[in-house]
Structures are given as C-alpha cells and as structure tokens.
Amino acid sequence: MNEKYPLALPQGTVLAGQYIIEDVLGQGGFGITYRALDHKSGSRVALKEFFPDSLAARTSVTTVSAFSGPRGEDFAYGKQCFLQEAKTLAQFIGNDNIVRVHSYFEENGTAYFVMDYIEGISLAEYIRHYGGKITYEQSLNALLPVIDALGAVHNQGIIHRDVTPDNIFITTEGVIKLIDFGAARYSLGDKSQSLDIVLKHGYAPKEQYMRRGRQGPYTDIYSLGACFYFAVTGTLPPDSVDRLEDDKIVPMSEFGADLPDVAEQAIMKALSVRAEDRFRSMEEFKMALFGRSPAIVSEPPVKQTYFTAPGEDGKDKFKTVLMEDGAGMQSFNKRPNDHIRPKARAKKKDTGILGAPLILYIAIALMSLVFAIAIIVISVFLFKADPEDDVSEAVEAVSEEADADSSDTGDDEDTGNEDAGDDTSETSGGKGKAQIGFYGSTVTDDLAEYKDTPRGVMVSDVIEGTGAEEAGMLPGDIITNIRGRTITSMETLKEEISGCEVGESVVMSVQRPGENGYEEEILVVVLTAEEGV
C-alpha cells in the first residue's frame, strides 16, 4: 500500500493488459494519476483513473464501487463526463500546448485514460526558481500558449476549471503544456447538472464556490488572470467570495510590477468578481492584453511557443530551440527572457509587437516582398493576351482628366506599358479589357496581424505611363474598396474589375500610410484597355 496515497492502485498493477503501474503522480477530487509503463511500446505514460472518493470506494485491490442512491447516479454521470473528456481531448492531438491523450477504456468498475508522460517542471516551480515572481514578459511567454490552448478547448464545450501555475507545465524541451483536465465539465445549456465544487483559493471565481453556479469560458479567464497576477506580483489575489462586498484587490503596479497599462487593465478586468464584467472569450482577453480589439472570427489555431525551463541543478538549461514563424526558423540559444533587458524596455522602436525582435518583422517583410515578386512574375506568363506574340496587357488605372487628355490627342498607338501582375477581364464591344495599372499583392494575414496593416491589395509599384499616377495612386496604398465592395484579396479585385467596362469610372477607397497611421483616400478611376509590348 502507498502510505501517501492509500486509495491508489498498487505498484505493478496491469491495466488493459498493457499498462503497468509504476508510481502515483498525484490525487485530486476526481481521480488519481499514475506513471505507468506501456510494455507494448516501451514508453512511459501518465494514466488517469476516475475515482471521486466522495462518490465511490475501493472495494478490492483494484475494483471501484459507486455508493448507492444519488451519489451513485452522480458517479455514473461523472464517469460519462470523464470518458467524454478523454474523447474530446483526443481531438487535440497535434496541438503541442495541450497534453496528448493516447487511449481511454473502462475497467475495474471505473474509467481510465492514457496521456503523454511529461518531464519538466510546473510554472509554479519556475516562479519559485526566480525568487517567487517573474517579469511580465516572462509570464506572457508562458501564458500566451495557455490562452490559445484554452480558446481551442472552449470551442469544444470544455471548461478546464483548474487553471493554476501547478497545472501549466514547462517540458524539458521548453514547450508549454496545459495539463490536468480532471476538474473539467461540459457546458450543456439547460441540461447542465449540478457541478461538484472544485476550486483552488485565489484562482477560483465566485461561481465555482456555488454548487449550481453557471460556469463558462469566463471561469477559466478569471483563473488565468489570477495566474498573471500571482506570477508578476508573487501574491495571490484575495478570494473572489471575499471581494463580493468589499473588493480590496490591489493593482499589480502597486506591488512594483512593471507592465504596460493596457495589460494591467486587461488582467484586472479578467479578475472581475462578476462574471458578466469579464471577457467573454480567450481571444478577447488576448487582444486586450495588447490594447487591441478582437476580430470577429473564431478562435485562431494555437501557435506553438517554446519556453526554456530551469535545469535540475537550479540553473537554466542553455538549449538551442527552433521557433517557427511565418518567415521561417529562428534559432535561440539563451534563456527565455534574455532578449528582454531592463534598459531595452525604453527603446520601443527596437522591438516589435509582443516583444519580438525587430529583425523578425524585417524578415517577415522581406519574405512577403519575395512572395509578391514571385506572384508578379508568374502572372506575367499566366495572363498574356497572346503568348505567341509576347504581348502583355497593362492593367491600368487613369483619372478622368488623363482619359480625356488621351482622347483629345487621338493617340491610338501602344503606350509601352509593362505587365502589372494583376488579372484582367474581357468586356463587350471588342474594346479590350478593363485594367488598373499597378504592381500589387494581397496583404497577408500575418502582416495585417503584426503590423496593423489594413487588409486589401497593397500597391507595390505604379506602372509609369499608364495613368495610374495621374489618378493619384501611390506605392504603399492599400486598395480596400471598389464600387462599394470590400477588397480583401487579389482575387476579389480581379472579380470586381471583371464586372467593369472599358471607359467606366469607378470609385476606389485606398488606405494610405502617413505619420499618424493609415488614412483613407478616395480615388475616381477611369478604366482603360490600352495594350503595350
């Protein structure tokens, strides 16, 4: 018998004919977690047993028997939720920030599921390693992956309900893992049953203190706010129920925490006592940390974040970890917070959004430029009017004045325009194709997200001699609207121009970069059909 965990399965117990119990990792209100050996694969796994000791008892060495009456009904319902939890978590295989489920099964009168066995330390241990608190940047590095992971979990109807530094793990490879979904329950609307009270003081919102308290994503948002609060101040927020009548929570900055005002406001909003005063989704919370409004879209895919944990000798491990982003792979061979130095905080221009190095964004911009040039080159060959004649049609935008001038001169000769890399469309009457004269490419989602660039088609260069310059178009303009239609990509621009006729005047909205950010300009453009060699 295990003296520390007398209700646990003994060492050497075999489950599902495959998993051999080696040790007990921990016990909570809903079950016991073991380290086990998968003798088929030879790998170690973590194995969770559904065993709420308030609803059932161990009646033999291995068998679990539910109590009679209502508690037996609660046990049956809990086991159903436990298995559903395993099935749902299995959907997240491939999400590196959520512990991976290998299998689940029923045996010994209860249920089990098998997960990755993770080696490393918890965020709580990491905080202790740094003397009881860490910088805001360090906490952001650790908790942003958790925000994304919880957003994905919430989309499947699961509430974690036990988000604490103890359940956020930093592996020896430096990857953040959200673990221990043992307190998870499902949002079933009006069919929700009474939820057992599972909470950790300081991290639990008031609804977790009530047996029939309505819970949702806002429940985990409160707990995550408490994780931020504890990480940067070294102090837990007061219990939520103690704040109901007299809220004496102290702002983090009063503890000397150094963090942006918008971030502190977001965290304090996440810690609101009333659920309706908190954010409604993890995406909303995440955007608020950077002072931005969330896009009206579903939760984004979780992006892998790497984080270096301290080694067993008490020192940080110096590993080379590859972090993947839209621009390629970048190698880091330093501590998780080495790139953030105290003096560097005042130099905002030296770092990009989210604290990333400026060189990262330069790399992204260069890659985007290379991609745009490649699109232009491909388009030159794809959209020639007659491949045999080596004649390319210029995609032109000219103002009404420029169009009138060309009509007065009676100049019917070719203008010598170059291919703009944009699609064109045939028009009636044999007049040719309606065209807009510029080189351009779609603003990528990454560029829009990290540089606050409006979505649309960015003009990289105006074709000389096509009239586009006379129309007022400039390199750097982003076309966002034509004839009332929102332009989100090169494809939508092509579709809209294909519906125009040669000589037609169109109203075009562009966003133009200036000293105070992007400003809207309205251009009236006359479409032409001139061709050039």
Span 450-462, average pLDDT:
78
Output the pLDDT for position 341: 31
Q: Which of these, 50, 53, 54, lies nearest to 109 by C-alpha position?
A: 50
Query: Which has the minimum average pLDDT: 66-70, 226-230, 319-323, 389-393?
Result: 319-323
Whether the CB-CB separation of 116 and 100 falls below 8 Å is answered with: yes
Query: Which has the minimum average pLDDT: 3-17, 100-114, 127-141, 459-473?
Result: 459-473
Span 301-306, average pLDDT:
39
Q: Where on the phi/psi map is residue 351: left (φ > 0), alpha (ψ -120 to 50), or beta?
A: beta
For residue 24, the 8-state DSSP code is E
Secondary-structure class of domain 1-117 per CATH: alpha beta
More confident: 103 or 181: 103
Whether the pLDDT of residue 65 is over 90: the answer is: yes
Output the pLDDT for position 505: 74
Q: From the CB of residue 462, how many other CB atoms can be counted at a distance below 10 Å?
A: 23
CA dist 71 and 75 (Å) reads: 6
Output the pLDDT for position 383: 46
In 38-166, which ranges are continuous DSSP H helix?
A: 70-90, 123-129, 136-154
Edge-to-edge strands, sheet with 19-27: 14-15, 19-27, 31-38, 43-50, 110-116, 101-107
Whether the pLDDT of residue 345 is over 60: the answer is: no
Whether the pLDDT of residue 18 is over 90: the answer is: yes
Whether the pLDDT of residue 160 is over 90: the answer is: no
How is the chain split into domains, by residue range? 1-117, 119-341, 366-532
Span 263-280, average pLDDT:
96
pLDDT in tens, 29-53: 788 999 999 999 999 999 999 998 8
pLDDT in tens, 415-444: 333 333 343 333 333 334 667 777 788 877
Q: What CATH number should be reported for the domain whose range is 366-532?
A: 2.30.42.10
Q: Which of these, 71, 56, 295, 101, lies nearest to 194 by C-alpha position?
A: 71
More confident: 428 or 193: 193
Output the pLDDT for position 328: 27
Span 495-507, average pLDDT:
77
pTM, entire model? 0.53
Output the pLDDT for position 465: 65
Q: Mean pLDDT in the chain?
A: 74
* Residue 447: pLDDT band with limits 50, 70, 90: low
Write the CA distances from 455 to 29, 425, 517, 522, integer angstroms.
Answer: 49, 23, 14, 16
Token pair 């190698």 is found at 331
For the domain made up of 119-341, give the CATH fold. Answer: Transferase(Phosphotransferase); domain 1 (1.10.510)
Whether the CB-CB separation of 478 and 459 falls below 8 Å is answered with: yes
